[in-house]
């Protein structure tokens, strides 16, 4: 078993893990929130580039979200929080260390509602506006098609109306931006989400593993609630079918020998239905509790 260095030890900046996080944009607040919940406290002064984490050998580097994959592949940062769409577009050679279960989206070819394209191959020779020129080009090549790519950093959805493009390749989350612009999905290229990435050389491995374990605790805690209830022993087998738990439920005896108390993790989105089903088989005193953090 390896022993971790005491927290906050080592003043050599080269021994610090460098973690790149988005300096602004939709992922910035999310990344900061996740790190705070994982017990990392830091203060970014005057929108500076660096912040030192107190009590852990980690330096945060605030970067553009789309630069994080390349900077991680090049070793300027050891780890980074970014979108897997940006990792693919950059063609960055990094390890995708963990998924956060947020920022899920699809990258898709989108065309005007009233045009009858049925396959992305029909876009051969057409103009396509996108912030993902490399992924788009590679995908079209698999269909022996080649388009004129209009490479942009934003507002891609407006480009057909502006007469710059015949189709777009853009990220779609709910689909409301497409609907507002009278566009529809022609073909999906891939599914993406927010990830923690790591440089392949695994420098500062101990700190990296400790960070991952902390973040995993936070992500699990966000996804699950703790449900507690009492159930007649005769119904225990039925109750375990409804709440099998993450590993298995904790079962405690009660003073009344015919009853027991259960503690079990349940996916947040399923809690209300699970409570109803437990009630139906005779459970009582059913409570949902928030998990702030956990290690399993």
> Would you tell me which residues interact with ligand AMP (CB under 6 A)?
26, 83, 103, 105, 157, 170-177
Work out the widest C-alpha separation in the chain, in whole angstroms. Answer: 77
Q: What totals of helices (H) and strands (E) does the chain contain, helices first?
A: 8, 15
Positive or negative, the CA dihedral 263, 264, 270, 274 is negative
Output the smallest distance, CB 150 to ligand AMP, in A.
Answer: 15
Output the smallest distance, CB 141 to ligand AMP, in A.
Answer: 23
Name the residue nearer to ligand AMP (CB basis): 69 or 217: 69
Name the residue nearer to ligand AMP (CB basis): 119 or 173: 173
Name the residue nearer to ligand AMP (CB basis): 133 or 175: 175
- Of 114, 78, 21, nearest in space to 203 by CA: 78
Output the smallest distance, CB 206 to ligand AMP, in A.
Answer: 31
Residue 80 CA, distance from chain mean position? 12
Name the residue nearer to ligand AMP (CB basis): 45 or 174: 174
Name the residue nearer to ligand AMP (CB basis): 59 or 157: 157
Q: Mind giving me the DSSP string for 130-141?
A: ES-HHHHHHHHH
Output the smallest distance, CB 281 to ligand AMP, in A.
Answer: 39
Rg over CA atoms, the chain:
24
Between the alpha carbon of residue 134 and those of residues 74, 89, 102, 103, 220, the distances in Å are: 19, 6, 24, 21, 34
Output the smallest distance, CB 280 to ligand AMP, in A.
Answer: 37
């Amino acid at each position: 078993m390896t022993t971790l260095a005491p927290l906050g030890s080592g003043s050599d900046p080269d021994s610090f893990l460098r973690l790149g996080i988005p300096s602004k944009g939709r992922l910035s607040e999310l990344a900061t929130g996740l790190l705070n919940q994982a017990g990392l406290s830091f203060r970014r002064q005057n929108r500076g580039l660096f912040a030192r984490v107190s009590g852990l050998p980690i330096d945060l580097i605030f970067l553009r979200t789309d630069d994080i994959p390349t900077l991680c592949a090049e070793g300027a940062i050891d780890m980074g929080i970014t979108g897997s769409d940006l990792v693919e577009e950059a063609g960055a050679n990094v390890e995708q260390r963990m998924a956060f279960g947020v920022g899920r989206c699809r990258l898709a070819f989108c065309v005007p509602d009233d045009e009858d394209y049925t396959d992305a191959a029909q876009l051969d020779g057409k103009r396509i506006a996108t912030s993902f020129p490399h992924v788009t080009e590679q995908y079209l090549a698999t269909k022996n098609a080649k388009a004129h790519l209009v490479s942009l950093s934003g507002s891609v959805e407006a480009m057909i109306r502006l007469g710059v493009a015949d189709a777009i390749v853009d990220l779609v989350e709910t689909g409301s931006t497409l609907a507002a612009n009278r566009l529809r999905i022609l073909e999906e290229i891939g599914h993406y989400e927010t990830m923690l990435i790591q440089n392949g050389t695994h420098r500062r491995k101990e700190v990296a593993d400790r960070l991952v374990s902390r973040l995993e605790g936070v992500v699990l805690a966000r996804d699950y609630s703790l449900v507690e209830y009492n159930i007649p022993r005769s119904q225990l087998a039925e109750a375990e079918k409804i709440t099998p738990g993450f590993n298995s439920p904790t079962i405690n005896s009660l003073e009344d020998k015919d009853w027991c108390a259960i503690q079990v993790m349940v996916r947040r989105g399923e809690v209300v239905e699970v409570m109803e089903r437990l009630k139906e088989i005779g459970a009582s005193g059913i409570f949902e509790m928030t998990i702030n953090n956990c290690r399993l």
